[in-house]
Structure 1
Amino acid sequence: MKKSLLALPILAVCATHANAQSSVTLYGLLDEGLMINTNAKNVVNGKNVGGRQFQLDSNSGLQGSRWGLKGSEDLGGGLKAIFTLESGINVSNGAFGQGNTAFGRQAFVGISSASYGTVTLGRQYDSVNDYIGSYGFALSYGGSSTEHPGDIDNVNHSSRANNTIKYASPNFRGLQFGGTVSLGGIAGEISQSSGYTLGANYNHGGMGLGVAYEYFKNPSAAGAILNGNVNATTFNSLNSGYLGARPANSLQIIAAAGSYQIGPALIGAVYSNTKYQNIGAFGGATATFNDFELNASYRFTPALLLAGEYNYTKGNAVRGDIGDQKYNQFSLLLDYLLSKRTDVYMEGTFQTASGTSSTGAAAVADIGSLGDSSNNHQLVARVGMRHRF
C-alpha cells in the first residue's frame, strides 16, 4: 500500500513531463461586418447590370474568419514534429471558405529545428506570402477588400499551393529565407501544374526588406496554384481572357517590398511584376501586370490605429488594345481595440478602371474577391468586428 502511495506522485511527475513535450492548440478568429457595395456583380440575362448591395459579410474583412488546430511534439535533439490544420469559415452562413474546401487555408505536417530550419509538407502559402505579404496593406491591415485588383500577384495569399514541400530557415540576425516546391501529381507529366517559389526577408531596427520569386506551369489547371480549391475558381475579366480556353502555360511573379518605422508611424511600399506567359488564345503572347503600392499607418494610442493605401496596377496590351487595363485604388482603415482579442473598425476602398480588359471589353472595377462591377468605378465600405480565440 505504501509503495502504491509513493508511486502516485512519481507517476504524476512523469505524466506532467510527458505532456510538456507535446501540445495541441485550438485557435481562430471571427471577422464579421456590415458591408455596402455601390456596384456589386449582378448578372441579368447574361449581362452584368450591377447594383447597390447591403449585406453581412465574413469574407472581405480585415482577416478571413477561420478556426484551426496546431501542435508540436518534442522529438529530442532539438527537433520537433509540427502540424497545422486550418479551415476558413463564413460566419454569415456557416459554410466553409476557400471554395468549400474543408481545410482550405492550410494543411501541413513537418519537422522543425531551431538550428536548421523547418520543412513542411501539404497545402501551404507560397514565398510571396511569406516574404512580401506582411509589407502589403491587405495582409497587414485591410484584408481582401483592399488587396491589389484580383490579388493579381498573390500578395494577399488568395491562392494556396497544393502538394507542396516548404523550407523556412531560422532567423540569422534578422535574415530569413526559404522556398517551396509544388508537385503537379499528373501521371506521365512530371512538370505539369508544378512550380516553385523563393524568398528572403531582412529586418533590422525599424527597417524591413523582402524579395520573392514564383513560377508555376499550367497555373489555371484544376488543382494548380490559381485553381487549387475543391470547387473550380471563377476568374474575373481582369485575367479571365488569359486563363480560359487555351490559357497561359505558365505564371511568373517577381516582388519586392520594404517598410520603415518612425515612432508610431510605419511607411511601406510593394512592387510586383506578374506575367501570364505563352497564352494560347493570343498566339503565345505574354500578359504583364505591374503593380505599385504605397501604404502608411499611425498608431495614435495603443488601441487606436489609422492606416491608408494607394495602389496602381497597369496591364500591357497583348493584341491591339486588349489587356491595356489600368486600376487606381485608395483604401482607408480606422481600427480600435476593445481588448487584446477584440476590435471594431471602419474601412473603405474606392477603385477606378480604364482601358480594355483581357476579354476585349472595357475594363471594369474589380475590388478584392467581390467580382467584376458593371462599370469602371466602385466603392466598398464596411463596419466590422473581429474577435480572436
Structure 2
Amino acid sequence: MKKIFIALSAATIAAPAFAQSSVTLYGVLDEAIQLNTNAKHVVGSTNVGGRQWSLDSLAGPYGSRWGIKGKEDLGGGLAAVFTLESGVNLNTGAFAQGGTAFGRQAFVGLSSNRFGTLTLGRQYDSVNDYVGQFGFGLAAYGSGASHPGDIDNAARTYRQNNSIKYASPSFSGLRFGGTVMLGGVAGSVSQNSGYTVGVGYNNGPLGLGVVYEFFRNPSNAGAVLNGNANAVPPATSTAFGSINSGYLTGNAPATSWQVVAAGGQYTFASAAIGMLYSNVKYGNIGHFNGATATFNNVEINGMYRFSPAAFVSAAYSYTKGNAVSGDIGDQTYHQFSALADYSLSKRTDLYVAATYQIASGTSSTGAPAVANISLLGDSSNTRQALVRFGMRHMF
C-alpha cells in the first residue's frame, strides 16, 4: 500500500529540536457490483426475500475506509502515536459502523521499542490482533465474508469503546497483549465492561494465535456488541440476525459474551493454508431462565498464487449452536467462499468473490433458521448466495 507521508518539522509543531514527527494518510476504496440471491424483503410482516443487484463498498475483502495515523519520536525509543480511521459507504458518502464518524479506530497512546505499546480509545479486540488473520474474512487472501452473524468477531464487526490496550514487542516472533474495556456507567464499575487477552507467534512460514475474551452486558447501548453511534437499548435493537437476536435483544438478554478462539496458518512458496476454531457463549439469558447459548465454529481456508499478480482462494466453515430451550437455538450453518484476484498494480486489483450459505435447525428466536451472509440481513429461507464483481484501490 502506498502511503503519503507529511513530514512536520520541529519548528512547525513547536516541539523540541530532537523530535521527529510524521502523519500518514491512507485508505482503501473497495467497490463492487453485488448480487444477493435472497435479500431481506418484508411484505406486511413476512420476509419473502428477493434477488437484489446493488453497488456495495462495505462487504468486500477490506471494506472501504480512510484514515490518518501519526507518530512523534520522543527520544530513547519512545514515541507518541495516534490513529483515526473511518469506514465510508462510497455509494452514499455516509459513515459506516452505524454512522460513527471514526467507527473503525480512534486512539492515542505511547509506543516503546523495548516495552511495547499502550493505547486508549476505540479499538479492535484481541481476536482481531492475534487470530482474525487466520480466518477467511481477514486473511490477506480472504473475501471479507464473516462467519454467520460474525458471532466470534473474526471479521471485526465490533470494536471496543473506552478501551485500554497493551501490545508487546515481538520476541523472535512471539507477541502477547490484551485490552480492558471500561464500562463508563456511573454507579456500576462492571456493567458494559470486559477484557481480552491474546498470544500470537509469527516466524517464517508459520503463524499461530490463541485468544480469550469476556464482556458483560454485551448488547447494552454503548457495550461491545452495540457501541456504534446508532446504538439503542436491547429491547428495541434490530442489529442482530436470528442466529443470536433471541439471546441479545428483548427483555433480560444475555449478561455476558465469551469467546475462546485459536488459529494458525502455514505459507508455502506459492500457497497457504489456514484454520480457525472458536467457541462462543452468551451467558445468563434471563428470558431463557438463565441458560447459556453456545456456538462452535470451525473453518479451513487456503490460497494458491499463479503469479505475483494472480491468485485464487477458498474457505469452508461449519457453525453449530446448541439448544437452550426445547429445540430453540439448535441450528447449523455450512458456508462456502471463494475469491479470484488479479492485480493491475501494487495499489489496484480486480476480483470476483462468492459465498454460499446453508442453514438448518431452529434459530435463537424459535423460528426456522435462515441464511444470513456477512450480516446483510436474514434471508427468507435456508439458502443464500452472495457474488461480488469488484475493484479495490489502496492509497
TM-score scaled to structure 1, two decimals? 0.95
- Aligned with 2:279 (options 257, 273, 279): 273
Deviation of 1:207 after TM superposition, in Å, equals 1.2
The aligned residue for residue 230 of structure 1 is: 229
1:267-286 Cα shifts (integer Å, max 9, x gaps): 00000000000000100000
Pair member with larger Rg: 1
Q: Tell me if the contact between 1:64 and 1:143 (Cα under 8 Å) persists in the aligned partners.
A: no
1:204: Cα distance to partner?
2.4
Give yes or no for the alignment of 1:242 onto 2:247.
Answer: yes
Matched, 1:386 2:392: yes
Q: How far apart in 1 are the matches of 2:10 and 2:322?
A: 67
C-alpha contact 1:184 1:190 (8 A) present in aligned 2: yes
Question: What is the CA deviation profile of residues 303-334 of structure 1, one whole-angstrom value per residue up to 9, with x for unaligned ones?
Answer: 00100000000000001100010000000000
* SS of 1:99 mapped into structure 2: helix
Query: 2:360 touches 2:370 (CA, 8 Å); kept in 1?
Result: yes
- Tell me if structure 2 keeps the 8 A contact 1:65–1:91: yes
What are the within-5 Å matches in structure 2 for residues 1-389 of structure 1? 21-140=20-139, 141-144=141-144, 146-232=145-231, 234-245=239-250, 246-389=252-395
What whole-Å deviation, never above 9, does each CA across 1:45-93 have from its counterpart, x for those lacking one? 1211100000000111111101111001111121100000000000011
One-letter code aligned to 2:213: E
Q: Secondary structure at the match of 2:97?
A: coil
Equivalences, count? 377
The code of the aligned residue for 1:277 comes to: G
Letter aligned with residue 299 of structure 1: R
Identity, in percent, stands at 65
Partners of 2:321 and 2:195 lie apart in 1 by 24
The 2-side partners of 1:18 and 1:274 are apart by 51
Paired with 2:143 and 2:23, the residues of 1 have a C-alpha distance of 28
Distance 1:105 1:143 in 2: 19
TM-score by length of 2: 0.93
Which one-letter code corresponds to 1:214 in the other structure?
E
Deviation, 1:26, is 1.1
SS at match of 2:227: coil
Counterpart AA for 1:240: S
CA contact (8 A) 1:61 1:142 kept: no
RMSD: 1.6
* Stretches of 4+ aligned residues off by more than 4 angstroms: 12-20
SS at match of 2:50: coil
Q: How far did residue 261 of structure 1 move?
A: 1.4
